Amino acid sequence: MNKIIRCLSIFVYSTLVLSGEGVARDFDLQHDNKTILIDDFEHASNSYKLTNKNIKTTQVIKNKNKALELSFSTKHKFSGITLKPNKLWDLSVLGNSALFFDVSNVSDFPVMLSVNITGKDKQVQRRTIGLTTNEHATLYFELNSQTLNVDTGLRDTPGSFKTAARKMILRGAKLNVDFSQVESIAIYTETQINPTAVTVDNLRFETIPDAKPDFLTNIVDKFGQSTQVNYPLKVSSEQQLRAIANKELNDLSKVTPRADRSKFGGWKQGPKLKATGFFRTEKVNGKWALVDPEGYLFFSSGIANARMANTTTFTGVDYRDDAVRARDPDDVTPEDSKGLNSNLAKYQKSAYIAYPDRRAMFNWLPQYNDKLANHYSYKRSSHLGPIQYGEVFSFYQANLERRYAQQYPDSYIDKWREVTLKRMQDWGFTSFGNWTDASFYNNQQVPYFANGWIIGDFKRLSSGFDYWGAMPDPFDPEFVKRANITTQVIAQEVQNDPWCIGVFIDNEMSWGGEGSTTLRYGIVLDALSKTTGNSPTKSVFSDMLKQKYKTISQLNQAWNRNIKSWKVFDNTGVNYKKDSNFNNAMIADLSWLLIRFSDEYFKVVNHSLKSVLPDHLYMGARFTSWGTSPEARWSAKKYADVISYNYYREGLDPMTWDMLKELDMPTIIGEFHIGSGDTGQPNPGIIHAANQRDRADMYKTYMKTVIDNPYLIGAHWFQYIDSPITGRAYDGENYNVGFVTTTDIPYPELVEAAKQVHKSLYQQRYGDVKIK
């Protein structure tokens, strides 16, 4: 937008527009859009309050115009500004609208910029963007449109209208926020590893065009690639795909074992410790380490999710034959972890298009008599999205058949395993990560981690934020039974293999979190609200409290409550989930009860696993940064051999990870990733880079923070393969987070970064370690 026009207009409209009266102006010469100017920093504005938090702000001259420079902190979890109007910004007169602003990255490092906008109902929507060094862009944050709150089953969609501005990407859930009025705007970064700064200018709300009716039509080509974006690795024919595959096969045939690696991938040139025949942990000269079966120091740098299970996407077709949705009550494998079931011929006779909009996303899918129709499968449930169940297709697996052909049934899968193992060695990785396909177990080339979920019809408890589901009740005998069944299946798969480093059980569970009392102790509060007859945990908690407080009066006095009797406490329950007034005595008891709950969970799983795999490490449940109470990790310390975290940031920041000093446990990062939007994925991933070069550099930065941390024994990139553009069937993730594309072509920048990291991995990690 022309800044001279802005400056002339601001004098006329400043009183009404900047005070939030919602008067609009027509001075966008390209689109004749209505605009509400927030600030162009040319003139002082008293229409809103700007609050700085852990940030330095400076007014600067940028291209002969004034702008606001934001220098972000590397010492705080949050660093940014918040703009809050004296009166709510009224967007109702704009119709379809978005926040636009100009931004320049003026630092020497990539930056991931976040924006939170709070609507009329005080709900907050978050969007993010990756900016490369010296990049200047106009960004937009979509607020009101006829398609914005439509659930497409994708984590984010391509832009729905034509504009030169870059779309900011949804981070987290898409919320149905009332943005007819806006209460505040926050522009910030989180846990910066490198010093970064940006300039922002021309903040405004603008009317945006109606969405193109076909903006989600034919967005995927026959290879599962974006039809809207061209990029260097994009293929246009099967002949090209096979040529690329043949060249890689030739290159991989020359790969030889690394001279500094032991048989199991440990540091052969380093000191040798006691060999036990299995992987174990030991603290060496103040650093936690894995030790391989031969006694060499080992660091687990791996790639997670090397499997077909998450490569499928819903096609929009369903089958009327209900038998396809039948379940085995003794199944131990969650739906999202199941591989492809191509034996669907009898069900496909009842196929129909159940979701026309979804079907229209594809410009090609094979007919049921096509040679690639064996890459159809069926998902009986999903976690998120408008489709609860239905037909799915794996472009990735179809592309493997295109690359390698089929010499015998599923020969291309065998070739995929062979190539994947060679890649892991060539790229320098020392292990696979979690969610490794069981066909890689006992591979005798690359160490791996086994995994399992405890699923079944046992009682559950809610923490109040149950993203993947409510917590199991570990005191329920059915949970103990299902834990034993799960670990027995894992043991049968692993077969006491020394190449198996350890076992992850469950993932990203809703333990609560640090913050408000109701957030941190949600599990306990939910149990207290239940009856002892319906909740085994409540029964245990009741016994504990009765032993501590002999009478209900003593409990009431300690908690400052008015519970009528133990009978009411047991048979009716007490509900404090929406309370905000908790005294110290009650908080102490909530913590005590949560520890008992957490202890029982980890004890049950530990006992189940060690009874069948006593020589393998129990790797814990992969905590999250957003849903883990301190009590849970202290319980894990008692029963797990290694504590595991999934941590999606730009690196391990001291603000978050100082707690490891007190915990003093071998710890592993079970998931992290960085994605980019330059390959056509509508959502780059949880952490954004501007391009593949930055993605590679950010990978190296993350790994350096892990390797340099004395408590970390490894980190696993999530994941091996890009998500489908139309979203993986289970939850709609459509991320560019693979080491390989949907056509199974490695990203050269990322591969080269991995080789650089792994070339000096052991020297960097253990070079100063000396064994007495």
Instruction: Label residue 7 by pLDDT band (50, 70, 90).
Output: very low
Mean pLDDT, to the nearest integer, of 35-49?
89
- Strands, E, within 194-286: which ranges? 197-207, 280-284
Give the pLDDT confidence score for residue 465 in this predicted structure: 83
Tell me the per-residue pLDDT of 108-127, one tens digit each, with 9 for 90 and over.
999 999 999 999 989 999 99
Instruction: Label residue 11 by pLDDT band (50, 70, 90).
Output: very low
Backbone angles phi, psi at 212, to 5 degrees: -65, 130
Tell me the per-residue pLDDT of 702-716, one tens digit each, with 9 for 90 and over.
999 999 999 999 999
Enumerate residues 6+ apart whose C-beta is below 8 A from 132: 105, 110, 689, 690, 691, 693, 694
Q: In whole angstroms, give the CA distance from residue 522 to residue 518.
A: 5
Give the pLDDT confidence score for residue 14 in this predicted structure: 31
Q: Are 5 and 35 in contact (CB under 8 A)?
A: no
- Strands, E, within 590-733: which ranges? 617-618, 623-624, 643-646, 667-672, 675-676, 688-689, 712-718
- How many CB atoms are closer than 10 A to CB 88? 17
Give the pLDDT confidence score for residue 13 in this predicted structure: 30
Give the pLDDT confidence score for residue 692 in this predicted structure: 97
Q: In whole angstroms, give the CA distance from residue 111 to residue 674.
A: 12
DSSP states along 155-168: SS---SS--SSEEP
Instruction: Label residue 44 by pLDDT band (50, 70, 90).
Output: confident
Mean pLDDT, to the nearest integer, of 747-763?
98
Does position 24 have pLDDT exceeding 50, yes or no? no
Does position 61 have pLDDT exceeding 80, yes or no? yes
Q: What is the mean pLDDT of the chain?
A: 92
Give the pLDDT confidence score for residue 668 in this predicted structure: 98
Tell me the per-residue pLDDT of 436-462, one tens digit each, with 9 for 90 and over.
999 999 999 999 999 999 999 999 999
Query: What proportion of the chain, given as a percentage, has pLDDT over 70?
Result: 95
Q: In whole angstroms, give the CA distance from residue 481 to residue 476.
A: 9
CATH superfamily membership of 3-207: Galactose-binding lectin (2.60.120.430)
Using alpha carbons, list the distances in angstroms from residue 178 to 85, 181, 496. 17, 7, 56
Give the pLDDT confidence score for residue 772 in this predicted structure: 56
Mean pLDDT, to the nearest integer, of 312-317?
98
Task: Determine if residue 638 is left, alpha or beta; phi over 0 gives left, psi from -120 to 50 gives alpha, anything else beta.
Answer: alpha
- Strands, E, within 54-174: which ranges? 55-62, 65-72, 78-85, 89-90, 97-105, 111-119, 124-131, 136-144, 166-167, 169-170
pTM as predicted: 0.93
Does position 769 have pLDDT exceeding 90, yes or no? no
Give the pLDDT confidence score for residue 466 in this predicted structure: 83
Any idea where the domains of the chain sit in the sequence? 3-207, 314-414
Q: In whole angstroms, give the CA distance from residue 75 to residue 653.
A: 8
Task: Determine if residue 338 is left, alpha or beta; phi over 0 gives left, psi from -120 to 50 gives alpha, anything else beta.
Answer: beta
Residues in the chain: 772
Mean pLDDT, to the nearest integer, of 467-488?
95
Closest CA to 210 of 141, 144, 164, 157: 144
Using alpha carbons, list the distances in angstroms from residue 691 to 131, 427, 696, 733, 747. 9, 21, 9, 19, 11
Q: In whole angstroms, give the CA distance from residue 421 to residue 302.
A: 12
Mean pLDDT, to the nearest integer, of 235-245?
97
Q: Residue 110 has what DSSP assignment?
A: -
Instruction: Label residue 33 by pLDDT band (50, 70, 90).
Output: low
Q: For residue 685, what are its two tokens?
A: 């991933």
Instruction: Label residue 766 by pLDDT band (50, 70, 90).
Output: very high
The residues facing 97 across adjacent strands are 144, 207
Q: Which of 39-53, 196-210, 286-300, 375-389 has the lowest mean pLDDT?
A: 39-53
The residues facing 118 across adjacent strands are 124, 184
Q: In whole angstroms, give the CA distance from residue 505 to residue 10.
A: 59
Q: Which of 83-92, 329-338, 346-355 has the lowest mean pLDDT?
A: 329-338
Cis-peptide, bond into residue 719, ω within 30° of zero: yes
